[in-house]
Amino acid sequence: MTTAAPSRKLTLDDIADQRAYEREREEFRARMIAVKRLRRVAIGDIMTIMFENRDTMRLQIQEMVRVEKVLTDEGVLEELKAYNPMIPEPGQLCATLFLELTSEDQVREWLPKLAGLENSISLQLSDGTMVPGTIDAQHAAGLTRDDVTAAVHYLTFNFTPAQVEVFATGAVSVVCSQPNYLKQTELADTTRTELLTDLRP
Domain count, the chain: 1
- For residue 147, what pLDDT is reported? 84
Specify the pTM. 0.91
Q: Is residue 187 part of a domain?
A: yes
- For residue 146, what pLDDT is reported? 76
Average the pLDDT over 129-146 and give the result.
Answer: 78
**pLDDT for 141-160, tens place per residue?**
666 577 889 999 999 999 99
Distance (Å, whole) CA 97 – CA 114: 13
Cβ–Cβ under 8 Å, residues 68 and 51: no
SS3 for the chain, per residue? CCCCCCCCCCCHHHCCCHHHHHHHHHHHHHHHHHHHHHHEEEECCCEEEEEECHHHHHHHHHHHHHHHCCCCHHHHHHHHHHHHHHCCCCCEEEEEEEECCCCHHHHHHHHHHCCCHHHCEEEECCCCCEEEEECCHHHHHHCCCCCCCCCEEEEEEECCHHHHHHHHHCCCEEEECCCCCCEEEECCHHHHHHHHHHHCC
Instruction: Give the pLDDT band (50/70/90) at residue 71.
Output: confident
pLDDT beyond 70 at 196:
yes
Q: Is residue 152 part of a domain?
A: yes
Q: Is residue 184 part of a domain?
A: yes
Q: Is residue 109 part of a domain?
A: yes
Q: Is residue 3 part of a domain?
A: no
Query: Which domain does 56 fall in, by range?
Result: 12-199
Instruction: Give the pLDDT band (50/70/90) at residue 139.
Output: low
Q: Is residue 121 part of a domain?
A: yes
- For residue 138, what pLDDT is reported? 67
Indicate the average pLDDT of the chain: 93
Q: Is residue 188 part of a domain?
A: yes
